[in-house]
Chain A
Amino acid sequence: KAGVTQTPRYLIKTRGQQVTLSCSPISGHRSVSWYQQTPGQGLQFLFEYFSETQRNKGNFPGRFSGRQFSNSRSEMNVSTLELGDSALYLCASSPGGEVTNEKLFFGSGTQLSVL
């Protein structure tokens, strides 16, 4: 089985721009979560999508948004980029559903640099 695929691997943007990151979960997985990783704040939860619906959201401003498509692929968007948005953005997938499944599988992330 292919793992979680995130594209692009690296991105360089300037302040004020917007960016869209993509995540393809493991085949058959219906839940996709996004995390931000920075040296200062560590790993922080952004949001989770299941069956095209946002099921849970972390404490990030509204500039951070996401969506999930019918094939479970997910995108996250950051608008009006700030320097502090520079981070590794990680996507994680799991089978999802009502039966809780603790095994999250992470992709290698998208490294975003905001200049």
Chain B
Amino acid sequence: ILNVEQSPQSLHVQEGDSTNFTCSFPSSNFYALHWYRWETAKSPEALFVMTLNGDEKKKGRISATLNTKEGYSYLYIKGSQPEDSATYLCAQGAQKLVFGQGTRLTINP
């Protein structure tokens, strides 16, 4: 089983500040890297799926980068808003996803 590590485990950010967190994964046998946002009592929502080294994806104020050679991905949130409060999960794989423990983000108004 692959080990996917996320850091930090939790993060408190002031509204309006920008933040980022990390996902690291084994670089061998890489297929795809997934980022999900998971709000309490809701379904995990897919943010990005990245497959190529150097991929950069953006959705509104959220963006992600991928380095498959060194085995890491960053997720950036610009100008945090209270609705960004959630757990952010990363996962590696194509068919069978292997998840990290997540980063729990809390935005303080």
On whether the two chains bind one another, the answer is: no
**Chain A interface (Cβ < 8 Å from any Cβ of B):** none
